[in-house]
Amino acid sequence: MAEPYDSVSEPIPISLIAGRYLLFDVNVVTYLRRSHNICGSLIGGIPQHPQQNVFLGLPVELMPEEAMLLVKKEIGYIVDDVAWHTQRFNTFQGEDRQKYLASLRFQGLKARKIAQGDALKRADNALRKLAISKGKKSDPSDATPNTSLDDPPDHSSDALFESDRVASPAPSSTAFASSEPFAITPSTSYSPSSLPQNTSPPPDPPFVPGYALFEHLHSRGYFLMPGLRFGSNFNVYPGDPLRFHAHFLACAFEFDEEIPLLDLIGGGRLGTAVKKGFLIGGEDPEADSESGKKMRTFCIEWGGM
Amino acid sequence: MAPPAIVELPSVSALQENIETSRTTFQTSSHPIYLHNLALSITHNLQYHHDWSSLTVHTHSGLTNSPLPRPVISGLPPKRAYIHPDEQVEILKAEHKSGKSIEQVPEREWVLPTHLEEKWSLAKFAAVFNALDTVPPNGRETLAGEEAEIVGHQWQGKNRQKRLLLATLHDDSTVVYYIIHDGIVKPRQN
Which ipTM value was assigned to this complex? 0.86
Q: Are residues A214 and A300 in the same domain?
A: yes
Q: Looking at the partner chain, which of B117, B178, B184 has a beta carbon nearest the beta carbon of A268?
A: B178
Nearest to B20 by CA among B3, B1, B40: B40
User: Tell me: the pLDDT tens digits for A186-211?
Assistant: 766 665 555 655 545 556 666 778 89
Parent domain of A151: 96-175
Confidence of residue A177 (pLDDT cuts 50, 70, 90): low
pLDDT at residue A51 above 50? yes
Given CB atoms, is B127 within the 8 Å cutoff of chain A?
A: no
Choose between A142 and A189: higher pLDDT.
A189
Q: Are residues A158 and A245 in the same domain?
A: no
Q: Are residues A148 and A217 in the same domain?
A: no
Q: Are residues A232 and A169 in the same domain?
A: no
Query: Which listed residue (A77, A211, A237, A247) is catalytic?
Result: A237
pLDDT, residue A195, reads 61
Distance from CA of B136 to the nearest CA of A (A): 18
Other C-beta atoms lying within 10 Å of the C-beta of residue B170? 14
Q: Does residue A305 lie in a domain region? A: yes
Q: Which residues contact A265 (CB under 8 A, 6 or more apart)?
A: B116, B168, B176, B178
User: Is A216 tagged catalytic?
Assistant: no
Mean confidence (pLDDT) of chain A: 80
Domain final residue pick, A125, A154, A175? A175
Question: How does B108-128 read in b/e, with b if 16+ C-beta sit within 10 Å?
Answer: bbbbbbbbbeeebbbbbbbeb
User: Is A237 tagged catalytic?
Assistant: yes
User: Tell me: the pLDDT tens digits for A2-32?
Assistant: 445 557 777 888 888 888 999 988 889 999 9
Q: Are residues A296 and A223 in the same domain?
A: yes
Q: Are residues A166 and A217 in the same domain?
A: no
Size of interface A-B (CB pairs under 8 A): 107
User: Is A113 tagged catalytic?
Assistant: no
pLDDT at residue B153 above 60? yes
Nearest-Cα residue of chain B relative to residue A265: B178
pLDDT, residue A139, reads 57
Return d(Cα B69, Cα A239) in angstroms, integer: 38
> Do residue A259 and residue B187 have CB atoms under 8 angstroms apart?
no
CATH of the domain at A233: 3.40.1350.10
Over residues A233-256, the mean pLDDT reads 93
Tell me, what DSSP letter sits at residue B27?
T
pLDDT at residue A142 above 80? no
Q: Does residue A16 lie in a domain region? A: no
Q: Which residues contact B111 (CB under 8 A, 6 or more apart)?
A: B42, B46, B72, B73, B74, B75, B164, B165, B167, B177
A257 CB neighbours in chain B (<8 A) are 121-122
Q: Does residue A203 lie in a domain region? A: no
Q: Is A221 left (phi over 0), alpha (psi -120 to 50) or beta?
A: left
Q: Does residue A17 lie in a domain region? A: no
Q: What angle do CA A248, A254, A260 make, to 5 degrees?
A: 75
> Do residue B180 and residue A300 have CB atoms under 8 angstroms apart?
yes
Listed by start position, the domains of chain B span 31-181
Q: Does residue A186 lie in a domain region? A: no
Largest CA distance in chain A: 101
User: Tell me: the pLDDT tens digits for B132-148?
Assistant: 988 888 755 544 445 55
> Do residue A298 and residue B125 have CB atoms under 8 angstroms apart?
yes
Residue B25 CB-density burial (10 A; 0-12 exposed, 13-18 middle, 19+ buried): exposed
Nearest-Cα residue of chain B relative to residue A281: B122
Q: Are residues A171 and A225 in the same domain?
A: no
> Do residue A272 and residue B190 have CB atoms under 8 angstroms apart?
yes
Please count the structural domains in chain A. 2
Q: Does residue A276 lie in a domain region? A: yes
Q: Looking at the partner chain, which of B122, B166, B187 has a beta carbon nearest the beta carbon of A296?
A: B122
